[in-house]
A = this chain, B = another copy of it.
Amino acid sequence: HHRDVIPRNLPGDHISHYDLNKLASTPMAAYNKERVLILSPMSKFYNEYWQNILTLTYPRELIELGFIVPRTAEGDVALKKLEKAVKQVQTKDARFAKVTILRQDSESLASQKEKDRHALKVQKERRANMALARNSLLFTTLGPFTSWVLWLDSDIIETPHSLIEDLVSHDKPVISANCYQRYYDDEKKALSIRPYDFNNWVESDEGLKIAAGLEDDEIIVEGYAELATYRPLMAHFYDAKGDINTEMALDGVGGAAVLVKADVHRDGAMFPSFPFYHLIETEGFAKMVKRLGYEVFGLPNYLVFHFNE
Chain A: residues with CB nearer than 8 A to chain B?
10, 12-21, 23, 71, 83, 86-87, 90-91, 95-105, 131-132, 135-136, 138-144, 263, 265-268, 270-274, 291-293
Asked if A104 meets B20 with Cβ closer than 8 Å, knowing A140-B143, A274-B292, the reply is: yes
Residue pair A20, B136 in contact (C-beta under 8 Å): yes
A60 to B111, CA, bound (A): 45
Residue pair B98, A14 in contact (C-beta under 8 Å): yes
Residue pair A139, B136 in contact (C-beta under 8 Å): no
Residue pair A90, B14 in contact (C-beta under 8 Å): yes
Contact of A87 among B15, B95, B267, B292 (CB under 8 A): B15
Asked if A102 meets B18 with Cβ closer than 8 Å, knowing A139-B139, A140-B142, A292-B273, the reply is: yes
Apart from A268-B272, A268-B273, what 6 extra A-B contacts exist at CB < 8 Å? A14-B90, A16-B100, A19-B103, A19-B105, A139-B266, A139-B268
A17 CB → nearest B CB, Å:
5
Chain B residues with Cβ below 8 Å from A131 are 268
Chain B residues with Cβ below 8 Å from A102 are 18-20, 144
Residue pair A105, B23 in contact (C-beta under 8 Å): yes
A125 CB → nearest B CB, Å:
13
Asked if A18 meets B140 with Cβ closer than 8 Å, knowing A131-B268, A135-B268, the reply is: yes
Asked if A101 meets B16 with Cβ closer than 8 Å, knowing A140-B144, A143-B140, the reply is: yes
